[in-house]
Structure 1
Amino acid sequence: MQAKNSSSSYGWVAIALHWIMAPAIIGTFILGWWMRQLSYYDPWYQRAPEIHKGVGIILLVFLLFRLAWRFANPSPASNPQTPNWQKFAATATHGLIYLLLLAIMVSGYLISTADGRPIDVFGIVSIPATLQGIPNQEDIAGSIHEILAWGLIGLVAAHVLAALKHHFIDRDGTLRRIIGIRVKGSTNDHSHVQTTLSTTK
């Protein structure tokens, strides 16, 4: 399986980035929601935010690489039978997801460094505080962070529903491409499906 995208399929790099980031983003959201319910004396009161911040920084690195890879490797062409409004909606949704992710990560950074302390990423690297002293920085960034996070989850839900529609209703192979399965011949012919993970085409 090729590393780069082609006009008809995703390469293994794009597929790997998608399936590494997707569960990590959802998991980080769930962790962020859960840790807000913890009391000061809970043993996870300090540990959960540390994990949340560390994973957030790692996801930022993955996001920047994914954006660079996307610009260098355009996505495969849409199915010709897909209506133009659906193509536009898919492009807009992807763009908004990337934009929200970036804004969420920046606001999270501003929350974590509002008091001047750096972010420790699992003892591997320390991210210094570069912006601080903004009036009510932690509260304002915190509100923005939460609102955008819920907005992101809403878009992700819409994205998942659209993918399921393409797979079960349209049967056009869209979902198979990001899973790493290539459809040969007709997009509706399930007998011609084979995994590209075992090929070098």
Structure 2
Amino acid sequence: MLKNTPSQYGSLARALHWLMALLIIAMFALGFTMGIPEKGSALRALIQGSHINLGTLTFALLVLRVLWRSFNPVPVAGLSPLNARLAHWGHLLIYALLALQVLAGLAIVMTRTNPTPLWWGFELPGFGGSWHKALEEAHETLAWTLLAVLLGHVLMAVVHKLQGDASQRGMLGR
């Protein structure tokens, strides 16, 4: 089933969730290792380029996911009204942090003096600017904040699984 039901996410929502989870893990891995290779090295350029390209893909999927969520019921089976409300606000926080994170990354790229080519066949313009360092710091702070919120998300999924409630059927498809 493609669409969500009151008790379970549909196949598209689940695919977007798990694809984005993999992308976010890859983005964190690339982001945290980006500073290891020597500046100007081919390896560092590869890591940075991959991070930027996966960031643009993450943003595109985030937009698609938010649009899909807007037109489909969100399963709340197995959750109390309070937990359903907290889950709603928690998901909105994740979406907002992801959007801010990607937009901060985009702004960093645009403070470069040269355009940045993307795998998809176009370039992100480079306008230069003095905000580069501040944007990098904001991007890093957002990354740590997002990581904490995502760990809380995973922790709550584990708690609900251990409690044996039906909420885990939603994204696991069972």
User: Taking structure 1 as the reference length, what is the TM-score of the superposition?
Assistant: 0.80
The equivalences for 1:1-201 within 5 A come to: 2-40=1-39, 42-79=41-78, 82=80, 84=82, 86-122=83-119, 124-129=120-125, 132-134=127-129, 136-168=130-162, 170-181=163-174
What is the identity percentage for the equivalent residue pairs of Structure 1 and Structure 2?
30
Deviation of the 1:140 alpha carbon: 1.5
User: What is the root-mean-square deviation of aligned Cα atoms in Å?
Assistant: 1.8
CA distance 1:28–1:10, change in 2 (3 Å): same
Larger radius of gyration: 1
Query: 2:63 and 2:152 mapped to 1: Cα distance?
Result: 23
User: Taking structure 2 as the reference length, what is the TM-score of the superposition?
Assistant: 0.92
What is the count of residue pairs matched by the alignment? 174
Contiguous gaps of at least 5 residues in structure 2: none
Q: Which has the higher contact order (CA 8 A, sep 6+)?
A: 2
Query: 1:83 and 1:149 mapped to 2: Cα distance?
Result: 30
Query: 1:178 and 1:45 mapped to 2: Cα distance?
Result: 36
List, as ranges, runs of 4+ consecutive aligned residues in structure 1 with deviation greater than 6 Å: none
Q: Which has the higher helix share?
A: 2
Query: 2:124 and 2:23 mapped to 1: Cα distance?
Result: 23
Query: 2:112 and 2:34 mapped to 1: Cα distance?
Result: 20
Query: 1:77 and 1:162 mapped to 2: Cα distance?
Result: 14
Query: 2:30 and 2:49 mapped to 1: Cα distance?
Result: 11
Q: 1:61-89: per-residue Cα shift (whole Å, max 9, x none)? A: 10100010000112112425x261x3332
Contiguous gaps of at least 5 residues in structure 1: 182-201
Query: 1:125 and 1:144 mapped to 2: Cα distance?
Result: 28
